[in-house]
Amino acid sequence: MGAMEAAKLVVEAREKSGTTEVRRLRRDGMIPGIVYNEKGESRPVQLDRHDFDMLMRKHRSENVILDIEIKGQDSRKVLVKEVQHNVLTGATLHADFLEISMTRKMRVGIPIRLVGDPVGVTAGGVLDHSLRELEVECLPTDLVEFITVDVSGLAIGNNISVGMLDVDPKFHVVTGANVSVASVLAPTLEEEVAPAEAAEGAEPELIKKPAKEGEGEEGEGEGEAKGKSADKGKAAEAKGKAADSEAKPKGKEGGKGKA
């Protein structure tokens, strides 16, 4: 863990608001921002995107304390509260700042950084980083950018909870002690996965109903019924032809009688 030093950022008061104004600012290389005081009151500002991005690149997290100066006003200590980025390009779109007192404790989430290669991962397990931030109360002067957690000793089935962390006494941990920070999960066996994967790509099979007593399977019954139906059709056709052959001679004999 490394303590942070406050960097300086110069911003300008923003008198206009609305979508049109925000778009104009971004086209001009500026971004909108808001500075909140401890009473929850807000002050709209605008800042140079390039200067802000260069300043933030010097830090490994966005949990940063700044000396912010609004042109024409006094400088004040602020904590970077939130930074919004474009989902596709990553460009900074907006920044919120919270005024802080250097002598009063504040509640903040400190990012957790895992280091080391777990022995369980080497054995085929999967590392699960379940808690990304540790919520603490501390003085602004004690704030750090991240908390380092060594996971190299984790075997398959093991985990590290919040209560197991070696946290500096100057931090009052708010997050529950039983909350899991990281664990190594057992690998999924290929034998268990393969049948499911095979079933997904397989052709659907016809479901056969159980045969009734004295009958064959459904497919065989259908074929037998079709065969019987075909035989009946042939028999009917033969009878029709026979009737026609009988009717024709009778017609001829009747004609001779009339002559």
pLDDT (tens place) for every residue of the chain, 259 residues total: 545 556 889 999 998 888 888 999 999 999 999 999 888 899 999 999 999 999 988 877 777 899 999 888 878 899 998 999 999 999 999 999 999 998 999 999 999 999 999 999 999 999 999 999 999 999 998 998 899 999 999 999 999 999 999 999 999 999 999 999 999 999 876 544 555 554 555 454 444 445 444 444 444 444 444 444 455 555 555 555 544 544 444 444 444 444 3
Last residue of some domain: 51, 66, 100? 100
Do residues 22 and 72 share a domain?
Answer: yes
Do residues 127 and 91 share a domain?
Answer: no
- The pLDDT, as a whole number, for residue 240 is 52
Question: From start to end of 21-74, where are the E strands?
Answer: 30-36, 42-48, 65-70
Question: 3-state DSSP call for residue 148?
Answer: strand
- The pLDDT, as a whole number, for residue 215 is 45
**Does 112 reside within a domain?**
yes
Do residues 76 and 150 share a domain?
Answer: no
- The pLDDT, as a whole number, for residue 219 is 42
Quickly count: other Cβ atoms within 10 Å of residue 110's Cβ. Answer: 21
- The pLDDT, as a whole number, for residue 35 is 94
Last residue of some domain: 152, 172, 188? 188
Last residue of some domain: 82, 100, 118? 100
**Does 211 reside within a domain?**
no
Do residues 94 and 12 share a domain?
Answer: yes
- The pLDDT, as a whole number, for residue 38 is 83
**Does 111 reside within a domain?**
yes
Do residues 147 and 171 share a domain?
Answer: yes
- The pLDDT, as a whole number, for residue 145 is 87
Strand bridging mode 42-48 / 7-13: antiparallel
Structure pTM?
0.62
Strand bridging mode 92-99 / 65-70: unpaired
Sign of CA pseudo-dihedral 175, 178, 182, 188: negative
Report yes or no: 78 and 71 within 8 Å, Cβ to Cβ: no
- The pLDDT, as a whole number, for residue 231 is 54
Sequence-ordered alpha helix ranges (H) in 110-164: 119-122
Residue among 11, 162, 135 at smallest CA distance from 73: 11
* Domain that includes residue 119, residue range: 107-188
Indicate which CATH number applies to the domain containing 180: 2.170.120.20
- The pLDDT, as a whole number, for residue 5 is 58
**Does 69 reside within a domain?**
yes
**All residues at 6 or more sequence positions from 115 whose CB lies less than 8 Å from its CB, including other chains:** 148, 149, 150, 151, 152
Residue 132 is encoded by which pair of tokens? 């990304």
How far are the Cα atoms of 3, 100, 103, 145, 165 from residue 139, in angstroms, in the given order?
Answer: 11, 10, 7, 14, 20
Residue among 75, 74, 95, 71 at smallest CA distance from 83: 95
Question: 3-state DSSP call for residue 2?
Answer: coil
Do residues 77 and 116 share a domain?
Answer: no
Do residues 136 and 163 share a domain?
Answer: yes
**Does 118 reside within a domain?**
yes
Q: What are phi and psi of 25, to 5 degrees?
A: -60, -45
DSSP conformational letter for 40: S
Indicate which CATH number applies to the domain containing 43: 2.40.240.10
Q: Which helix (H) or strand (E) holds 227?
A: helix 218-258
